[in-house]
Amino acid sequence: MITYEFLQNYWWILISILGAILVFMLFVQGGQSMLAGTSEPSHRAMMVNSLGRKWELTFTTLVVFGGAFFASFPLFYSTSFGGAYWLWMLILFSFIIQAVAYKYRSKEGNIYGTKTYDVLLCINGFAGPLLLGVAVGTMFFGAEFTVEKANILNPQSSAISQWSDTHGLEAILSLKNLSLGITVLMLARVLASLYFINNINDEAFCKAQRKELLFNSLLFVPFFLLFVYLLLTANGVSTTGDRMVWVKYKYFHNLISTWWIPAFFLIGTVLVLLGIGKTILSDRFNKGIWISGIGTICVVLSLFWMAGFNDTAYYPSLLDVESSLSIRNSSSSEFTLTAMSIVSLLIPFVLAYIIYAWRALDRVKITAEEIENTAKEDKY
């Protein structure tokens, strides 16, 4: 028999999968951030056209991730999205200007020039991964909010959650959150170089991207190690029993409490480094995006599982520990989760379509000659 607890766990796993795919798809933002350091016009054109084939997949994944959180864990959605609105508005704004840039960059009658829209792409390229990393960081290191469910019956104050006056801006100033934000940004740039090497057929460009890959990897690794250290030595909120309490080294205990969480974490880390290393060391190897991409998904899955499973509050409150949110006290009703679980059976078909569309778009590699011949008809 399917229990309420099983449905809560099932939807946290689905949320974890969507979050992992989103982090992988941020290679689009990583590639956009590189436009600022690319002076060769043909290289910039190839980069924009290559990313232009995928940016909508990233945007759609972000929307689905947020929608799934709203449907399955509405208290988190109302607390975080509604309370830390400055942080989420900045994230939303950065993705809006990305959509505007791709839609109007090469349109006839563009009076601002392509460079103006390239600046918008760069802003999204840096701000998107950084701020998303900061937002996810609050799921480990906590946020300044309180929750009072009884307020929903109070006509004078119907808001369930209350936040500090900064409404999410304080999260951006947290060094712990920033450690994850910078890690996600550098990972996005690493994945972008791997994607370009796989998607663009130009020897000079790929040679430059391998150098870029080495540089970004040397920055990514120390920030990743810093985040892992801060995470495994951080306190977390345990939901064992009727009360919530702060527990020292909670995430370290979560990591070693089962075999599958450390397995995913270690295998994922090895795959990320393997994809990077093989691409840097071999001029002919161009499949690193898939090796490192699978590794990225594995690592992010393990992080979400560390945050939500093993009687852990995935959204700790720094102001009132009893207000912390877990998958038990913030989920939708059993009926809602059951109904959505039936709909979720369509997810494999959606993923199959995405894979088919990806393969169709990448059937022909981008070249400098193609960009030059179709410059006037360039969609992006």
The residue extents of the domains of the chain are 17-328
* CA atoms of 53 and 55, how far apart (whole Å): 6
pLDDT of residue 255: 94
The strand pairing partners of 200, in sequence order, are 366
C-alpha count within 13 angstroms, C-beta hemisphere, residue 232: 12
In angstroms, the CA 54 to CA 27 distance is 9
| Beta carbons within 10 angstroms of residue 140's beta carbon | 23
Report residue 5 as tokens: 């607890």
Instruction: Give, for all 380 residues of the chain, the pLDDT tens digit.
Output: 789 999 999 999 999 999 999 999 999 999 999 998 887 888 888 999 999 888 988 998 899 899 999 999 999 988 888 788 899 999 999 999 999 999 888 777 776 777 889 999 999 999 999 999 999 999 999 999 888 766 655 555 556 778 878 888 899 999 999 999 999 999 999 999 999 999 998 899 999 999 999 999 999 999 999 999 999 999 999 988 778 999 999 999 999 999 999 999 999 999 999 999 999 999 999 999 999 999 999 999 999 999 999 999 999 999 999 999 999 999 999 999 999 999 888 888 878 887 888 888 777 778 777 777 665 555 56
CA 182 vs CA 96, 101, 186, 227: distances in Å: 21, 24, 6, 9
Q: d(Cα 64, Cα 338) in Å, to the nearest integer?
A: 18
Q: Report pLDDT digits (tens) over 116-143.
A: 899 999 999 999 999 999 999 999 999 9
Fold of 17-328: Formate dehydrogenase/DMSO reductase fold (1.20.1630)
Tokens 């959605």 sit on residue: 77
Spatial distance between the Cα atoms of 51 and 41, rounded to a whole number of angstroms? 15
Whether the Cβ atoms of residue 16 and residue 304 lie closer than 8 Å to each other? yes
Tell me the C-alpha to C-alpha distance, in Å, between residue 352 and each of 348, 349, 356, 357, 359: 6, 5, 6, 9, 11
pLDDT tens digits, one per residue of 326-349: 999 999 999 999 999 998 888 888
Helix (H, G, I), strand (E, B) or coil at 367: coil
Three-class SS state of 137: helix
Scanning the structure block, which residue is given the tokens 């998607």? Answer: 199
